A = this chain, B = another copy of it.
Amino acid sequence: MSISTRRARERANTQERIIEAALHVLETEGAAALTIRRIANDVEYSAPVVYQHFANKDALILELVAHGHRLMLTQVLQASQEADVDRRMRCLASEYVRFAGEHPHLYQVMNDPTVDADERRRVAEPAIDALKELLTTWSAAHDVVLADLDEACETLWGTLYGIASLGHLSNVGNDRARRLAEQALHAILLGWRTDASEKRQQAPGSAM
């Protein structure tokens, strides 16, 4: 009994080491350096051992993506603990972009279109849910009834992603991108509020 549990523990341990090694290579040297042989070498095993823990490279990468989202979620939430909802929103935008800038390669893999869309969606869900929750409290605080919460959330998510991507895509520095994200978020939310108040003035109905 105890021997098999030890085996399982060792197994889990090397699996964890593989993930950490992969993460380290990815963050320090980029996606191009992330090869099975390289990872195996770093954990002092031969390449096929990796396939005892992951069906293939894609599965390993998916694990990195999931890890990345967990990391991002905790960092962003932890850094944006403002009392005011609007400040919290603003802070979230800024911190999201900061994360993208501080972990460019990880962020890149997290949004790599070549990893299966469904799986990517799945591992990103907790982060999206957190945004959805914040957006809910925001809309309640401002008496704004959003026609479709999911749509509104996806709009914000997409916007943040797009502006964070500017950081690598062009010459826009991270600080500037953070300001742009704050500004865009501010503008979108303000736009929604304006829409809502306009609607309120003429007839009771849903937003936009």
Chain B residues contacting A154 (CB-CB under 8 Å) are 163, 166, 170, 172, 180
Judged by DSSP, the binding face of A is helix
Whether the Cβ atoms of A113 and B151 lie closer than 8 Å is no
Closest chain B residue to A190, Cβ basis: B191
B208 touches A180 (CB 8 A): no
Please tell me if A192 contacts chain B, counting CB pairs below 8 Å.
yes
A8 CB–B CB distance under 8 Å: no
* Closest CB in chain B relative to A70 CB, distance in Å: 18
Residue A126, interface by CB 8 Å: no
CB-defined interface of A58-99 with B at 8 Å, one 1/0 digit per residue?
A: 000000000000000000000000000000000000000000
Inter-chain contacts of A165 with B (CB < 8 A)? 111, 113, 158, 161-162
The residue on B at minimum CB distance from A120 is B169
Cα distance A45–B34 when bound, in Å? 33
Is the C-beta of A188 less than 8 angstroms from some C-beta in chain B?
Answer: yes
Chain B residues positioned under 8 Å from A53 (CB to CB): none
In the complex, the answer to whether A180 meets B155 with C-beta atoms within 8 Å is yes
Contact with B along A97-122 (1 / 0, CB 8 A): 00000000000100101100100110
- What are the 3 A-B residue pairs with the smallest beta carbon separation, nearest first? A162-B162, A187-B191, A158-B163
